Chain A
Amino acid sequence: MKTHFIKLLHYVPMGLLVLLFLSCERDLEDLKPAEFASNPEIFIDGFSAGLNYAAFGASVPTAFDLDKAVSYNNTAASMRFEVPDAGDPRGAYAGGSFFTEVPCDLSPYNALTFWAKATQAADIDVVGFGNDLGESKFQVTILGLAVNTNWKKYIIPIPDPSKLTAERGMFFYSEGPEDEKGYTFWIDELKFENLGTIAHKQFSILNGEENVETAFVGVTKSISGLSASVNLPDGVNQKVFAASAYFTFQSSDPSIATVDAAGQVAVVGGPGTAAITAKVGSEEAQGSLTLESMGNFEQAPVPDKAPEDVISLFSDTYSNVPVNYYNGYWAPYQTTLSADFEVNGDHILHYTDFNFVGVEFSSPTVDATAMTHLYMDIYLPNALPSNAQFKIELVNQGAAASAVYSKTITTDQAQQWISIDIPFADFNGLTGTDKLFQIIFVNENGAMSSFYADNIFFYDDGTPPPPLTEPDVPAPTPTVAAVNVTSVYSDAYTAIAGTDFYPNWGQATQVTEVEIQGNKMLKYAGLNYQGIQLAGGQNVSAMTHLHLDFWTANSTALNVFIISTGPVETGIALSVPTTGWVSIDIPLSQFAPVNLNDVIQFKFDGNGDIYLDNIYFRK
């Protein structure tokens, strides 16, 4: 259902396909200066002369053809349009424009009409006229034209025929597959008419809404939502989207805001108010934009963090990471609207009717583990009735609840930029920052009505992160084949049975089994010494190494012993503390004179908190 109708791909003069019909070109005998012929007929039984067809870029170039078998009212031929299936290698959709070489005077007519039917009920994405593959100055479009399997007459009203004295765009269309499936539709009797059966033309800008916005010198806006509506012969209104050239825009006070012919608004002065309205001919369009200019805009402070220390969500200073939206319009309780603006090249988020609003950046999520702070600038443009509570919720994927920070904003802080600079540690309930995906702003006590926001980013203030006190990831998964392993403790292998990991040798060490990301490991808390009692003497003489993964943040001494009956024991010192997991493979020869035919125990001694995993003999 995508519509790409910009690029010209194939350009076929229709004169090659069809016989001569009425022409838009002037006849010599009635030549008059600066006046074009007004042939209303585009396709009746064939094409009018001088008509060209061009398929739009990335569309199926052969989607359009003449059909002599199917036509409205059994005439000689109709126009057939074959919409491709999704994934068709020839193109993603059917689309193109019919246009004349020499402009036509369409001012005597008030509508483009045609008969259409399709092989199935469907909504044609785009149909209209005024697309000349160039400026398309007077383009008119209907979006989602419903067709079905019966021939029906369709009417596309001309917003202001007096403008169309030299038009080249006669008809254009664009339609993608319906539910991934292609289909065919036909159009016949395509012509301009002057209908007395359509009435009550109305025009709208901004979709007919009366918008009021706060603004500053330098703010630019575009007047969009331009449409015309005409009542059809069946009493129902048909809305068409109309190009800006049909409209004449005006400002009630050009010293406050100006508007150009294309509907581009610029706030140039203030404080003061200017209303932007429009007319088509002498008819007032519904809808207006009232700009309440506060005068010169006070920019938020320019951030001074180094770009490499920043993950930015919204800023003109840094490159922003992908953000799904800055306002999720979360139904049904959110009232917050967005009226974002740009002033002197600086983009500002503007939230109005503020109760709460969410910013989401989940594709992908943001890993802010290297960052230490959340920073943002906010500005409350209205006076505060009382001290406000601006609550910020930070959400990490997988967390049970959002982490919360509330900032009190005193009444004297209104109408100035406020820098909010929060260490992650100050977010209550923040369990991780590795998969951040939402920030939610909440008007906690309802004291604010709206706010601007700028420079929302995470940054690293340069202080090293506090050392971990426990592993954040499991030990590496062993890769030695199981047949070459005699395992004592590992999730990766079947261990020898009957091992006691917490024998009472009078030690102070507390042994627990902990699980990190689904992987089990042993934790020795407050080590003095600790044994592992095997079930009888184990013969590991066929093995060559003892493997061990260990992790400790606070140990300064750690030795591992193998013990055979006697007891005969040998200790090997391990290098501690570690940076992350350390995997070690100790040749069994280093444990001599321990009898490798009769290993009965392990022992660890030293100090600190130790994590152990993947204790096995291998060859």
Chain B
Amino acid sequence: MKTKNITFKLTFFAAWLLTISFFGCKPDDFQKLDERNWSLVWSDEFDAAAGTLPDAAKWAFDLGTGEGGWGNAELQNYINNPENISLDGEGNLVITALRNGNGFTSARIKTQGLFAQKYGRFEARLITPYGPGLWPAFWMLGENILTSPWPQCGEIDIMELRGQEPHIISGTIHGPGYSGGNPITKQYALVNNRFDADYHIYAVEWDENKIDFFVDDFLYQRIERNDPPGEWVYDQPFFMILNVAVGGNYVGFPTSETPFPQKMVVDYVRVYKEVK
């Protein structure tokens, strides 16, 4: 999520253009995964009444405009108004980005201080927002971020999307020596479909040797322990974040044509541990 160095941006976009991948539907050797026995250890099904805020025992808010637009020149002001974040009474959490005159409001929640876990399967089932300048994400940061500042704490982006390309999502890790505009990342694109049209399940499966990235249980990226050009910083608990950013270095500015309001609809977030 963090792209601290703007000068990386052009390089980054160029690289992305060359590496975009379209995956077919047929299982291949890559998909022959080891049998795992996952045990649910944490979840939020968002089943409470319409209009209520997310469960305070599970989620904390990031509020305001952050330092330097949360490090990315993002435009939104995060607030905890039910207009921007609340349950819909139909089993979903809805994060809504609104255009308020010249500004934008939205919401960002995290499990920091409430839940973190080392290794396991982290998944969310959600519908993304869309439109130029919209930047939804389901991602994680190392719980040690207060003592080991980013990027040393590590960052695992399970799903992020540029609203002007609603058919492409990215899975990414940022760590020391490979962060900002130079992370380890891969795109996954839908053919003749788009991620804002229906629910999809975004997940990582993470252990001491690798992090696997999935869309709808299709493995599209595996990052192994020796792959990063810098230190492997993924042997400690991480907490989860859900947010809808507006604008910023990664996605560009929204335009007058960007439709608002925009909603990210989250059916559930679940975390599993492997039982051996």
Measured in the bound complex, the distance between the Cα atoms of B130 and A237 in whole Å is 10
Q: A235's contact among B130, B191, B193, by CB below 8 Å, is which?
A: B130
* Contact pattern, B 155-186, Cβ under 8 Å of A = 1, otherwise 0: 00000000111110000000000000000000
Question: A231 at interface (Cβ–Cβ under 8 A)?
Answer: yes
Q: B131's contact among A195, A196, A197, A235, by CB below 8 Å, is which?
A: A235
Closest to B192 in A: A196
* Contact pattern, A 564-586, Cβ under 8 Å of B = 1, otherwise 0: 00000000000000000000000
A234 cross-chain contacts in B, Cβ below 8 A: 132, 164-165
Question: A200 at interface (Cβ–Cβ under 8 A)?
Answer: yes
Question: A233 at interface (Cβ–Cβ under 8 A)?
Answer: yes
Q: B166's contact among A195, A235, A237, by CB below 8 Å, is which?
A: A235
A237 touches B194 (CB 8 A): no
Measured in the bound complex, the distance between the Cα atoms of B91 and A209 in whole Å is 31
Measured in the bound complex, the distance between the Cα atoms of B89 and A105 in whole Å is 41
* B110 → A minimal CB distance (Å): 26
Measured in the bound complex, the distance between the Cα atoms of B257 and A231 in whole Å is 11
Question: B134 at interface (Cβ–Cβ under 8 A)?
Answer: yes
A199 touches B192 (CB 8 A): no
Question: A28 at interface (Cβ–Cβ under 8 A)?
Answer: no
Closest to B193 in A: A196
B230 cross-chain contacts in A, Cβ below 8 A: none
Known: A235-B258, A237-B259. A197 touches B130 (CB 8 A): no
Measured in the bound complex, the distance between the Cα atoms of B255 and A235 in whole Å is 11
Question: B6 at interface (Cβ–Cβ under 8 A)?
Answer: no
Question: B114 at interface (Cβ–Cβ under 8 A)?
Answer: no
B192 touches A195 (CB 8 A): yes
Identify which of residues 222-265 in chain B touch chain A, using a CB-to-CB cut-off of 8 Å. 255, 257-259
B194 cross-chain contacts in A, Cβ below 8 A: 196-197, 199, 233
Q: A236's contact among B191, B196, B197, B257, by CB below 8 Å, is which?
A: B257
Assign chain A's interface to a size class: 10 to 19
A197 cross-chain contacts in B, Cβ below 8 A: 167, 192-194
A235 touches B197 (CB 8 A): no
* A335 → B minimal CB distance (Å): 21
Q: A199's contact among B163, B164, B165, B196, by CB below 8 Å, is which?
A: B196
* Contact pattern, A 284-297, Cβ under 8 Å of B = 1, otherwise 0: 00000000000000
Closest to A202 in B: B259
A236 touches B193 (CB 8 A): no
A195 cross-chain contacts in B, Cβ below 8 A: 192
* Contact pattern, A 197-211, Cβ under 8 Å of B = 1, otherwise 0: 101100000000000
* A109 → B minimal CB distance (Å): 13
Known: A196-B197, A199-B130, A199-B197. A235 touches B164 (CB 8 A): yes
Please report whether the interface of chain B is mostly helix, strand, loop or mixed according to DSSP.
loop
Please report whether the interface of chain A is mostly helix, strand, loop or mixed according to DSSP.
loop
Closest to B190 in A: A196
Identify which of residues 117-170 in chain B touch chain A, using a CB-to-CB cut-off of 8 Å. 130-132, 134, 163-167
How many B residues face the partner with a CB closer than 8 A? 20
Measured in the bound complex, the distance between the Cα atoms of B196 and A237 in whole Å is 14
Measured in the bound complex, the distance between the Cα atoms of B194 and A200 in whole Å is 11
* Contact pattern, A 210-243, Cβ under 8 Å of B = 1, otherwise 0: 0000000000000000000001011111000000
Known: A233-B194, A235-B131. A199 touches B258 (CB 8 A): no
B131 cross-chain contacts in A, Cβ below 8 A: 231, 235-236
Measured in the bound complex, the distance between the Cα atoms of B259 and A349 in whole Å is 36
Measured in the bound complex, the distance between the Cα atoms of B193 and A195 in whole Å is 8
A235 cross-chain contacts in B, Cβ below 8 A: 130-132, 134, 163-166, 258
* Contact pattern, A 360-380, Cβ under 8 Å of B = 1, otherwise 0: 000000000000000000000
Measured in the bound complex, the distance between the Cα atoms of B131 and A237 in whole Å is 8
Known: A236-B258, A237-B257, A237-B259. A231 touches B130 (CB 8 A): yes
Measured in the bound complex, the distance between the Cα atoms of B262 and A237 in whole Å is 13
* Contact pattern, A 227-262, Cβ under 8 Å of B = 1, otherwise 0: 000010111110000000000000000000000000
Measured in the bound complex, the distance between the Cα atoms of B194 and A197 in whole Å is 6
* B203 → A minimal CB distance (Å): 23
Measured in the bound complex, the distance between the Cα atoms of B257 and A612 in whole Å is 72
Q: B259's contact among A196, A231, A233, by CB below 8 Å, is which?
A: A231
Closest to B134 in A: A235
A237 cross-chain contacts in B, Cβ below 8 A: 257, 259
Interface residues of A (CB under 8 A from B): 195-197, 199-200, 231, 233-237
Task: List 14 A-B pairs, Cβ < 8 Å.
Answer: A196-B191, A196-B197, A199-B194, A199-B196, A199-B197, A200-B259, A233-B166, A234-B164, A234-B165, A235-B130, A235-B131, A235-B163, A236-B164, A237-B259
Other than A196-B191, A199-B194, give 20 A-B pairs with Cβ distance below 8 A: A196-B190, A196-B193, A196-B194, A196-B197, A197-B167, A200-B196, A231-B130, A231-B166, A233-B166, A233-B194, A234-B132, A235-B132, A235-B134, A235-B163, A235-B164, A235-B165, A235-B258, A236-B132, A236-B258, A237-B257
The 8 closest A-B pairs by CB, nearest first: A196-B192, A196-B193, A199-B197, A235-B131, A235-B164, A236-B257, A235-B163, A235-B130
Interface residues of B (CB under 8 A from A): 130-132, 134, 163-167, 190-194, 196-197, 255, 257-259
